[in-house]
Amino acid sequence: MNLLVDIGNSLVKLAVFDGGQLLAQTSTKYLQPSTFDEILKGRRAERAIVESTRGDADEILAQVRDHADYVLEFTPRTPVPIANAYRTPETLGRDRLAAAVGATVLYPGRNVLIVDFGTAVTIDLVTADATFRGGCISPGMRTRFRALHDYTAKLPLCSATESEELQGLSTEEAIRLGVMNSISFEIEGYMSRMREKIDDLCVIFTGGDAKYFAKRIKNTIFANCNLVFCGLDRILEYNASEEHLD
């Protein structure tokens, strides 16, 4: 049984995998001892992995060690089962690399474009030879809503809408549609350009806000909100089994 801990910009997400299958998951703003008891159901994990997009994870690592026999901190020096063409691997978000590994698990031998909808929107390419080829980063949905509210005098703080209209008839509608449509058009444009360059391109939507865009974007895509967990589970097995030494 593997315990996976993904420390994001906004939330700490935990999952339990066994034999490559997701058994349980949860998320919390502040990690408490009871969180481990709830997700592990009083058991002890054989292995655990911790990755953080925030940097220092010492406090959470110490907590995880109380609940697992083998604990791996996912750092830029951790061996992974794919090649990495990023020129500055030390600055690459571990969640982006984990998602890339997850894509090779789910779609081996395919060219995969990963769109992760979180605090930031990241669009990354993994080619059929299992190589991470980099991508783009832009503000996420909630970040855009927050920026319009925080950096103007009177614009209200808004949230997602399911409407696909192009014009809002109130300021609130205009903000909602402006943010949602701008992200949709951004992703559609990127997908279109990439498909002109790369044959047989598979597109995966992941991240907490993927559910808002899976129906809005009218192209063939796959949605998997557990892509990072899938990659972390593979990285953990790859290191715990010393497969990388073969």
The catalytic residue among 37, 56, 58, 95 is 95
Half-sphere exposure of 152 (CA within 13 A, CB side): 11
Query: Please, are residues 111 and 128 in contact by the beta-carbon 8 Å criterion?
Result: yes
Cβ burial, residue 3 (10 Å; 0-12/13-18/19+): buried
190, amino acid identity: Y
Using the structure block, give the residue that is written with the tokens 């300021």. Answer: 171
Q: Name the token pair of 229.
A: 């967990």
| Kind of pairing between the strands at 120-127 and 111-117 | antiparallel
**Closest of 10, 4, 3 to residue 207, by C-alpha:** 10
Is 233 catalytic? The answer is no
Phi, psi of 138 (to 5 degrees): -140, 170
Half-sphere exposure of 59 (CA within 13 A, CB side): 9
Phi, psi of 87 (to 5 degrees): -75, -20
Using the structure block, give the residue that is written with the tokens 């992703």. Answer: 187
Catalytic residue IDs: 95
